[in-house]
Amino acid sequence: MPKVMIPTPLRQFTDKQDSVEVAGATVSEILGALTTAYPGLKQNLYTDEGKLRSFVNVYVNDEDIRYMNKDKTPVAATDTVTIVPSIAGGR
Amino acid sequence: MALSQEEIQRYSRHLIMPEVGVEGQEKLKAAKVLLVGTGGLGAPMALYLTAAGVGTIGLVDFDVVDFSNLQRQVIHGTKDVGKPKIDSAIESMNDINPFVKVIRHEVALRSDNALDIIKDYDIVADGTDNFPTRYLVNDACVLLKKPNAYGSIFRFEGQATVFAYPGGPCYRCLYPEPPPPGLVPSCAEGGVLGILPGIVGLVQATEVVKLILGKGDPLVGRLMLYDALGMKFRELKLRRNPECPACGDHPTVTKLIDYEQFCGIPAAPPPQPTGGAPAMGEIDAKGLKAKIDSGDKFVLLDVREPNEFQIGRIPGSILIPLGDLPKRVNELDPNADMVVHCKMGGRSAKAIDFLKTQGFSKLTNLKGGITAWSDQVDPSVPKY
| B157/B217 Cα distance (integer angstroms) | 23
Cα–Cα distance, B89 to B103 (Å, whole number): 11
What mean pLDDT is predicted for residues B171-196? 82
Pairing of strands A56-60, B56-60: unpaired
pLDDT at B277: 62
Say what the pLDDT of residue B272 is.
47
Residue B268 has pLDDT above 60, yes or no: no
Nearest-by-CA chain B residue for A84: B225
Q: Is A15 left (phi over 0), alpha (psi -120 to 50) or beta?
A: left
Q: Looking at chain A, how many residues does it have? A: 91
Is residue A53 a contact partner of residue A7, using CB atoms and an 8 Å limit? Answer: no
pTM attached to this predicted model:
0.83
Burial of B205 (0-12, 13-18, 19+ CB in 10 A): buried
Identify whether the C-beta of residue B141 lies closer than 8 Å to the C-beta of residue B163. Answer: yes
Q: Can you name the residues that pair with B84 across neighbouring β-strands?
A: B64
Provide the H-helix boundaries in chain B.
Answer: 5-10, 12-15, 21-30, 42-52, 85-96, 114-118, 131-144, 171-174, 187-190, 196-213, 259-262, 285-293, 306-311, 325-328, 346-357, 369-376
How confident is residue B271, by pLDDT bands cut at 50, 70 and 90?
Answer: very low
Count of CB atoms situated within 10 Å of the CB of A15: 13
| Distance of alpha carbon B372 from alpha carbon B318, whole angstroms | 18
Q: Across chain B, what does the average pLDDT equal? A: 93
Q: Report the pLDDT averaged over residues A17-21.
A: 94
Any B CB within 8 A of A78 CB: no
Split at pLDDT 50, 70, 90, the class of A8 is confident
The Cα–Cα gap between B171 and B163 comes to 6
Residue A87 contacts B, CB cutoff 8 Å: yes
With cut-offs at 50, 70 and 90, classify the pLDDT of residue B182. low
User: Do the Cβ atoms of B129 and A89 come within 8 Å?
Assistant: yes
Mean pLDDT value across residues B15-28? 97
A89/B326 touch (CB, cutoff 8 Å), yes or no: no
Return the active site residues of B: 187, 342
Confidence of residue B269 (pLDDT cuts 50, 70, 90): very low
| B236–A90 C-beta distance less than 8 A | no
Q: Reply yes or no on whether the pLDDT at B180 is more than 90.
A: no
Closest CA to B76 of B97, B85, B205: B85
Q: What is the pLDDT at residue B90?
A: 98
For B224, the closest chain A residue by CA position comes to A62
Q: Chains A, B: CB contacts under 8 A, how many?
A: 114
C-alpha B186 chain-centroid distance:
7
The answer to whether the CB of B131 falls within 8 A of the CB of B179 is yes
Residue B97 has pLDDT above 60, yes or no: yes
Which alpha helices (DSSP H) does B11-155 contain, by range?
Answer: 12-15, 21-30, 42-52, 85-96, 114-118, 131-144
Q: Is pLDDT above 90 for B56? A: yes
Residue contact B134–A88, C-beta within 8 A:
yes
- A40: nearest CB among B69, B223, B323: B323
**Span A68-81, average pLDDT:** 95
pLDDT digits (tens, 9 = 90+) for B211-248: 999 999 999 999 999 999 989 999 999 999 999 999 99
Tell whether the model's pLDDT for residue B280 goes beyond 90. Answer: no
pLDDT reported for residue A78: 96
The predicted pLDDT at position B69 comes to 95
The predicted structure's pLDDT at residue B86 = 97
pLDDT for res B316:
93
How many helices (H) and strands (E) would you count in chain B? 16, 13
Backbone angles phi, psi at B198, to 5 degrees: -60, -50
Strands of B228-314, DSSP E: 232-237, 282-283, 299-302
pLDDT grade, residue B266 (50/70/90)? low
pLDDT value at B270 more than 50: no
pLDDT on residue B263: 87
Interface of A with B in 42-61 (CB under 8 A): 44, 53-55, 57, 59
Torsion of CA B233, B236, B239, B245, to 10 degrees: -80
Q: Is the pLDDT reported for residue B176 higher than 60? A: yes
| ipTM of predicted complex | 0.89
Cβ-defined contact of A13 to B238 (cutoff 8 Å): no
B195 three-state secondary structure = coil
